[in-house]
Chains A and B, each alone.
Chain A
Amino acid sequence: MADIETHPAAHAQGLKHHFDDSAQQLESSTLGMWVFLLTEIMFFGGMFGGYTVYRNMYPGAFASTSQFMNLAIGSINTGVLICSSFTMVLAVRAAQLGKKKSTITFLVLTLILGSVFLTLKYVEYYEKWKDHHIPGPGFRYAEPQYFHEAQILFFLYFAMTGLHALHMIVGAGLLTTLIVMASRNRFSAEWYTPVEMIGLYWHFVDIVWIFLFPLLYLIGHTSSWGG
């Protein structure tokens, strides 16, 4: 019956007492991360639902608001995020190989690209603020017939991109932690779970943007779909 070792004589690096071995712990962490991403899908899903309903309800207003989205910044930001996903995946790869220095380099690069994204997002928000496109009492809109609808759509824009940006900020914090951990030699080719997990998170945030970008910036000027 003792076909498992309860407490391996030498605890592998980072192995918690309640796991049998590192493989079990890694699998658990990975599964846990994916379950967490599942909740994230539904979290954004609620807003995608609201977006879908209103876009379907007010196609004309969508056509109108899309002209006020900064397509240049949106496109650049998409590129920036894809680059950051690329550097992230390289960081994970370096960690797998136990290369401390390149792990740190790629993590730092990811962090920088994330910050570039957030900075551009800030510029975009600032533009919206100058144009009185923030929903609320100060909201102004050029085409009066779409005033209310545009306000709802800008509300959704801010809610969706704002929550996305919040996830980016959290991600930046996590990356910083990783960089510190890596520089303190906490990772090895045997144990680099945090890098991998935060990598998954970072890619997920990237995917959210991959969908936000066309929905908010690109397809506004086409007419309605479905009914």
Chain B
Amino acid sequence: MSTTLPHPLHVGERTNYLNADYGWKSWLFTTDHKRIALLYLFSVTAFFFLGGLFAVGMRINLLTPEGIFSHDTYNKLFTMHGIIMVFFFLVPSIPATLGNFLIPIMIGARDLAFPRINLLSWYIYIVGGIVALFAIVQGGVDTGWTFYAPFSTTYSNTHVILAAVAIFISGFSSILTGLNFIVTVHKMRCPGMTWSRLPLFVWGHYATSLIQVLGTPVIAITLFLLGMERLFHAGIFDPTLGGDPVLFQHLFWFYSHPAVYIMILPGMAVISEIVPCFSRKAIFGYEFVAFSSLGIAVLGFVVWGHHLFVAGQSMYASMVFSFMSMVVAVPSAIKVFNWTATMYKGSVSFETPMLYAFGFIGLFTIGGLTGLFLATMAFDVHVTDTYFVIAHFHYVMVGGMVMAFMGGIHFWFPKITGRLYPENWGRIGAAIVFIGFNLTFFPQFILGYLGMPRRYASYAPEFQMLHVMSSAGASILGVGYLIPIIYLTWAWRKGPISPQNPWNAKGLEWEQSPTPPPTFNFDVPPVCTEPAYNYSGEGAEVGLG
């Protein structure tokens, strides 16, 4: 360790945010961003496993061509899987947990700009989640997470309004988180923390927050109109009453396409931290990685029409959207190339977070490239609404986002808990997740091109082999997710005490904040004196603390 640590103390010897106060009240009424992050961590994990349970049901059903459950059950399974995973896991996952925990520390602030709004956002999320659970308990929804009209407004006999209300409510939680981050990044940076020294994690979250703030209101109003339409049948989305069902799709995807960038940008943000740390080298092309996040955030808003190539959208509009979808791939490609180049002449080690980062880069590459395929219109005509789209989406979301989430959890586990996780178990878990994931979703690319439509409770017999492979892979993937839960829970209680900076990483959160951090994050007011990722130690003003 080259840097002198200002407070080389151990857990238990000093007060930190975890032992500063006790009792349920100290958690449920906390305004400490770190505690709120943990509240979020437990709730999103719970929703992740709930959504996973629905996926297990789906994969069981698809073992035979006729299906094992009734069609109705299957339709509800995939709908609830989608709703829970998208709105209650993927959207809040990294921002509300790792982002919440780390952004203030990384920029040297004592808390987010609006701590009470931060707590409020968690309560809103929980209320939305409870409404969603209530909708499930009441019998579920069978519209698909996309709620396409007029099926959702007129024909479905399930709890569409309840589900819409749940998403509407949780949307405000997302907006408030984004608002908090934007203000925090603008106004709460410590002395010396200029925009060009900002960790890329913060840049990524800033871009994410912009999308949350600008996109989420539109899904809220869309679902509001959907609910009103279902209640009053005024016909706004109903063609028999003069409405246009395609308008719903426009408004829906205006949010829901940028929403996939809400999900993936924080993942990229995590990878941009992990790769330099485990390569012992500054990120290659800092400005390009930073601005590509903003580029994705802006361009991501003008590509939604690629979901409507076969929906009756004007061919000319489709052409524009197809072109923009190609353009938005450029900043994503830039990121991948820069991460790769970061390792060049570095000193690469292979701890669990780095393994997940490798997984992310690989799977995101495949997911991103197949995304380009789908932006190619004539190809999209054949594979849209088939398993090809499912596979693409899961490569980006599970292969990308969840991999990054797992990598981030492992990377900052010592920071959050003050303890170390068992490295070998971590590596085994990462390998199992990687193998299980590919077994589950690669066959789905083939299924899709062969013409297997999505959302099918039963299917033509020739697809069975690939479906069984996929289900087998899913069971491995499930084991892969259970292993970390077990050893991380163990490590939280019994793991070895972590030093302040177990990875020898750069950044205020490792170098200037004790591990685990005290309630206001720093014992000494932090000052940023060097560029981000200054692993080679060039030009640093020495003698901190």
Contact = CB atoms under 8 A, between A and B. Distances in A.
A43 B224 CA distance: 10
Given A18-B111, A151-B234, A152-B235, A46 B221 contact: yes
Interface stretch (A2-10, A176-184, A185-193): A2-10
B415 interface: no
A154 B228 CA distance: 13
B235 A1 contact: no
Interface in A12-69: 16-18, 24, 27-28, 31-32, 35-36, 38-40, 42-47, 49-50, 53-54, 57-58
B373 interface: no
Contact of A36 (B179, B222, B234, B242): B179
Contacts of B112: 18
A131 to B, nearest CB: 16
B232 interface: yes
Please tell me the size bucket of the interface on B.
Answer: 35 or more
Contacts of A28: 113-114, 183, 186-188
B234 A154 contact: yes
A137 B232 CA distance: 7
B39 interface: no
Interface of A: 1-4, 6, 16-18, 24, 27-28, 31-32, 35-36, 38-40, 42-47, 49-50, 53-54, 57-58, 135-137, 139, 148-149, 151-152, 154-156, 159
A170 B180 CA distance: 21
Contact of A135 (B175, B191, B232): B232
A35 B213 CA distance: 7
A57 B112 CA distance: 46
Contacts of A24: 187-188
A136 B228 CA distance: 10
Contact of A39 (B175, B190, B234): B175
Interface stretch (B243-251, B322-330, B472-480): B243-251
Contacts of B218: 42-43, 45-46
B1 interface: no
Contacts of B110: 17-18
Contacts of B346: none
A39 B232 contact: no
Contacts of A35: 178-179, 182-183, 213
A1 B527 contact: yes
Contact of A18 (B115, B179, B213, B247): B115
B305 to A, nearest CB: 14
Contact of A159 (B220, B228, B254): B228
Contact of B244 (A36, A57, A156): A57
Q: Which 6 interchain pairs have the tightest Cβ spacing?
A: A135-B234, A148-B242, A46-B221, A155-B234, A43-B217, A18-B111
Given A139-B234, A154-B234, 6 more contacts: A28-B187, A43-B218, A44-B221, A137-B233, A151-B242, A152-B241
A40 B217 contact: yes
15 contacts: A18-B113, A24-B187, A24-B188, A28-B114, A32-B113, A36-B179, A39-B217, A43-B221, A45-B217, A47-B225, A50-B236, A151-B242, A152-B241, A152-B242, A155-B235
B222 to A, nearest CB: 6
Nearest to B115: A18
A42 B174 CA distance: 15
Interface of B: 109-115, 175, 178-180, 182-183, 186-188, 190-191, 213-218, 220-222, 224-225, 228-229, 231-236, 241-244, 247, 250-251, 254, 520, 525, 527
Contacts of B525: 1-2, 4, 6
B187 A27 contact: yes
B187 A156 contact: no
A32 B114 contact: yes
Contact of B216 (A2, A39, A58): A39
A38 B241 contact: no
Nearest to B209: A35
Nearest to B250: A49
A47 B221 contact: yes
B244 A53 contact: yes
B121 to A, nearest CB: 13
B257 to A, nearest CB: 15
A101 B98 CA distance: 47
B213 A136 contact: no
A155 B228 contact: yes
Which of B179, B182, B188, B221 is the most central at the interface, judged by chain A CB atoms within 10 Å of its CB?
A: B221
Contact of B520 (A18, A44, A156): A18
Which of B175, B242, B254 is the most central at the interface, judged by chain A CB atoms within 10 Å of its CB?
A: B242
Contacts of B250: 49
B28 to A, nearest CB: 20
A45 B251 CA distance: 10
Given A39-B217, A45-B217, A47-B221, A148 B179 contact: no
Contacts of B215: 42
